[in-house]
Amino acid sequence: MPTIAQSELTFQSGGKAIRLDAYLPETLDGPIPAVIALHGAGGNVIGMEQYASTLAAQGFAVYLLHYFDRTCNDRAGTESADKQTIFRNFPLWMKTLWDAISFVETQPQVDGERIALLGFSLGAYLSLANSAIDHRVKAVVEFFGGMPKEMNLFMRRLCPVLILHGEADPTVPVDEAYQLQKLLEKKGIPYEIKIYPGAGHGFESEIWRDAGLRSLQFLQKYLAAPETSKPTREP
């Protein structure tokens, strides 16, 4: 497996320093596609590191976004978000994600035309909401999330989405996945969907492996470098 370089970056959003954990392949072959990953309401990125390393080993620049830094006064602690906190802070986190994309697209190793979002639960809602208004997002991988209904008023566009959801999810009902599927079909947007029978909110190891492979293939498909046209010979 290629060597992965890890570092912590910071950028400014709303006057706050926001952390990004960067995972990059040490050997870069020109600007590479980027994936910004968003944690769920639990507020930490533990468990996402292996995922990030795997994607980086396949040629992606991966950034784990600590978007709770925008609304957390104690950076040493881990903040979790209940429904009231989510409702209050969702717009601020949306702006933080927008600023994160602005920061990532300026990184010298990143191809700013090939940026995707990958979100878990609350992070999936944020990713999908952002993708509905931000043309810079070329694809979204969403784990057990959905499209906020409020975005029906603000939706400007959509991009290809990979939907991964547990059939028996007690936290985010699987109906959220089917509603998203209907929206994408109505808009004529490419998507892929996998509903895991009996799975809840969060996956077991075998399902994680399958979901990880599907995510990789989806990102490779929609963040592929554009083919350069071959020069034509004049007769």
pTM of full prediction above 0.95:
no
Percent of the chain at pLDDT > 70 equals 93
121-157 pLDDT tens trace? 999 999 999 999 999 999 999 999 999 998 988 899 9
User: Taken in order 11, 16, 17, 23, is the CA torsion positive or negative?
Assistant: negative
CA distance 172 to 122: 10
Q: What is the pLDDT of residues 59-78, one digit of tens each?
A: 999 999 999 999 986 544 44
**Structure-block tokens of residue 233:** 């010979």
Q: At what angle do helices 122-131 and 83-104 cross, to 10 degrees?
A: 50
According to the CATH classification, is domain 4-222 in 3.40.50.1820? yes
Q: What is the pLDDT at residue 62? A: 98
Domain boundaries, the chain: 4-222
